[in-house]
Amino acid sequence: MKLIREEIERVEVLTEESNGKKNLFIKGIFLQSEQVNRNGRLYPGSIMEREVKRYNEQYVQKGRALGELGHPDGPTVNLDRVSHKIVDLCREGNNFVGKAQILSTPMGKIAESLLKDGVTLGVSSRGIGSLTATKEGYKQVGEDFMLATAADIVADPSAPDAFVQGIMEGKEWIWDGGILRERLAENARKQINQLTTQRRLEENKIELFDRFLNSL
């Protein structure tokens, strides 16, 4: 089985108040079925409905439907990269509309800052399964498909690491606190630019973010 990711380019940002505390949410189409998507894949409605039902029962209803900021390499959720918790996922026609709460984790704070600064974010689902080529030219997802997470948060679904630039150039993160923090952010940005391969970038970006966040 292969790791399968699908992207939705835009979600709605909501702010809700509970017990005097304002919480930030994203809401929109997280998953789609019965149509060939831009990656040339089709998810049968029965398979997607089955997996969403399982995901709701095992994860959403138990408060452990977590997602990450960025494009993880595998199907498992990395707790040090968690940015949000999916609180609702239901079917509307061939779409599955979800709602996720932004958490107060380090990655959640980054996502919150991007949203508040007007950055357009999208979501990317992750699952594993087999693909079968059809005579019509698209690939159909097989019965063995398993949904790993309904939504990771991505800044640009077509460029997995585009959110790095948005974070490092965000003035609130860089300038609030003085010259030292500005220098650390600048150094981190230079190091990212020097990472010449996608693999090295993936291996080093979280370490650089942690170093920058620890300086705040």
Q: Are residues 143 and 101 in the same domain?
A: yes
Q: What is the pLDDT of residue 195?
A: 55
List, edge to edge, every strand of the sheet that includes 95-102.
12-18, 21-32, 95-102, 82-92, 66-68
Q: Are residues 106 and 207 in the same domain?
A: no
The verdict on whether 125 is a catalytic residue reads no
Q: What is the pLDDT of residue 208?
A: 65
Q: How far apart are CA 25 and CA 15, in angstroms?
A: 6
Domain of residue 17 covers: 2-154
The verdict on whether 71 is a catalytic residue reads yes
Q: Are residues 145 and 188 in the same domain?
A: no
Q: How far apart are CA 105 and CA 110, in angstroms?
A: 9
Reduced to 3 states (helix: H, G, I; strand: E, B; else coil), residue 161 is coil
Q: How far apart are CA 121 and CA 157, in angstroms?
A: 9
216 residues of the chain, pLDDT tens digit each: 677 788 887 788 888 887 778 889 999 999 999 998 888 899 999 999 999 999 999 999 999 999 999 888 778 899 999 999 999 999 999 999 999 999 999 999 999 999 888 888 889 898 888 889 999 999 999 998 889 999 999 875 543 333 333 333 333 333 344 433 444 555 555 665 565 455 555 566 666 666 666 665
Which residue in the list 46, 71, 104, 113 is annotated as catalytic? 71
Q: Are residues 114 and 175 in the same domain?
A: no
Domain count, the chain: 2
Q: Are residues 29 and 136 in the same domain?
A: yes
Q: Are residues 143 and 205 in the same domain?
A: no
Q: Is 0.85 topped by the overall pTM?
A: no
Q: What is the pLDDT of residue 191?
A: 60
Which residue in the list 113, 124, 130, 158 is annotated as catalytic? 124
